[in-house]
Structure 1
Amino acid sequence: MDAPRSSRRSAPFLLGLVAILAALPLGYFLFLHQPPAPPPPPPRVVEAPHPVAPPKKGPVSLKLETVRGTVEVRRGEQWRAASAGEALRPSDTVRTQEGSYAVLIGGEAVEVRMEPGTEVSVEALTDSLSRFLVGNGVTTVRLKPNSGQALEVRAAGSDAVARTEGGTFTLSNNGAGTVALATFAGEATFSGQRKVVIVRAGQQSVVRPGHGPSEPAAIPTSLLLKVNWPARPRRQVAVSGQTEPGARVDVGGRIIPTDEEGRFSQVLSLKEGTNAVQVRALSVGGLRQEDSRELTVDTTPPKQVTVDPGLWDDPPPKGH
Structure 2
Amino acid sequence: MAQPRRQTPFLVGLVLILAALPVGWFVFLRQPPPPPPRPAPPPVAVPAPTEKKPLELEFTEVSGTVEVQHPDGTWRPATVGAALRRNEKVRTQDGSYAMLIGGEAVEVRMDPGTEISVEALTESVSRILLGKGMATAVVRPGQRHTFEVKAANADAVATLEQSGAFTMSNNGQGTVAVGTREGEVTLLGQGKVVIVRAGQQAVIRPGQAPSEPATVPSSLLLKVDWPVERTRRERELLVRGQTVPGSRVEVDGVTVAPDAQGHFERKVVLREGRNTVDVRAVGVGAVGGVDGGVKRIEQRDKQDVVVDTTPPPLKTDPDIWNQANNDSR
**Pairwise TM-score range, normalised by the shorter structure:** 0.7 to 0.9
> Are the structure 2 counterparts of residues 310 and 100 from structure 1 closer, same or farther at C-alpha, using a change threshold of 3 Å?
closer
Matched, 1:122 2:132: no
What percentage of residue pairs aligned between the two structures are identical?
54
Residue of structure 2 in register with 1:206 after alignment: 203
Amino acid at match of 1:63: E
Residue of structure 1 in register with 2:303 after alignment: 293
CA distance in 2, matches of 1:306, 1:238: 37
CA distance in 2, matches of 1:173, 1:309: 62
CA distance in 2, matches of 1:59, 1:89: 9
SS in 1 for 2:129: strand
**Greater shift in the superposed pair: 153-162 or 141-150:** 141-150
Kindly indicate whether the alpha-carbon contact (under 8 Å) linking 1:62 and 1:106 is maintained by their aligned counterparts in 2. Answer: yes
Matched, 1:164 2:160: yes
> Are the structure 2 counterparts of residues 310 and 187 from structure 1 closer, same or farther at C-alpha, using a change threshold of 3 Å?
closer
Kindly indicate whether the alpha-carbon contact (under 8 Å) linking 1:102 and 1:113 is maintained by their aligned counterparts in 2. Answer: yes
Alignment partner of 2:176 out of 141, 163, 179:
179
Amino acid at match of 1:67: V
Please state how far the C-alpha of 1:145 moved relative to its aligned partner.
Answer: 4.3
Alignment partner of 2:151 out of 146, 149, 155:
155
Superposition RMSD on alpha carbons, in Å? 1.9
| Alignment map for 1:272-311 (pairs within 5 Å) | 272-285=272-285, 286-308=296-318, 311=321
SS in 2 for 1:103: strand
Please state how far the C-alpha of 1:107 moved relative to its aligned partner.
Answer: 1.2
Amino acid at match of 1:83: T
Please state how far the C-alpha of 1:305 moved relative to its aligned partner.
Answer: 1.4
Alignment partner of 1:74 out of 69, 72, 88:
69
Q: 1:66-111 CA deviation, whole Å, 9 max, x = no partner?
A: 1111110012211000111112210111111111110010111100
Residue of structure 2 in register with 1:317 after alignment: none
**Greater shift in the superposed pair: 64-73 or 231-240:** 231-240
Residue of structure 2 in register with 1:139 after alignment: 135
Residue of structure 2 in register with 1:241 after alignment: 241
Kindly indicate whether the alpha-carbon contact (under 8 Å) linking 1:163 and 1:189 is maintained by their aligned counterparts in 2. Answer: yes
CA distance in 1, matches of 2:274, 2:124: 56
TM-score for both structures, normalised by structure 1: 0.77
Amino acid at match of 1:220: P
| Alignment map for 1:257-268 (pairs within 5 Å) | 257-268=257-268
> Are the structure 2 counterparts of residues 293 and 148 from structure 1 closer, same or farther at C-alpha, using a change threshold of 3 Å?
same
Residue of structure 2 in register with 1:38 after alignment: none
SS in 2 for 1:120: strand
Q: 1:152-197 CA deviation, whole Å, 9 max, x = no partner?
A: 0000110100000122001101000000000011100001111110
Matched, 1:84 2:94: no
Matched, 1:256 2:253: no
> Are the structure 2 counterparts of residues 306 and 194 from structure 1 closer, same or farther at C-alpha, using a change threshold of 3 Å?
same
Amino acid at match of 1:164: L
Residue of structure 2 in register with 1:23 after alignment: none
SS in 2 for 1:284: strand
Larger radius of gyration: 1
Q: 1:205-235 CA deviation, whole Å, 9 max, x = no partner?
A: 0000000110011111222100001234321
> Are the structure 2 counterparts of residues 101 and 297 from structure 1 closer, same or farther at C-alpha, using a change threshold of 3 Å?
same
TM-score for both structures, normalised by structure 2: 0.75
Kindly indicate whether the alpha-carbon contact (under 8 Å) linking 1:207 and 1:213 is maintained by their aligned counterparts in 2. Answer: yes
Q: Specify every segment of 5 or more residues in structure 2 that has no aligned partner in the other structure, as ranges.
A: 1-52, 286-295
CA distance in 1, matches of 2:118, 2:132: 14
Please state how far the C-alpha of 1:141 moved relative to its aligned partner.
Answer: 0.7
> Are the structure 2 counterparts of residues 311 and 240 from structure 1 closer, same or farther at C-alpha, using a change threshold of 3 Å?
closer
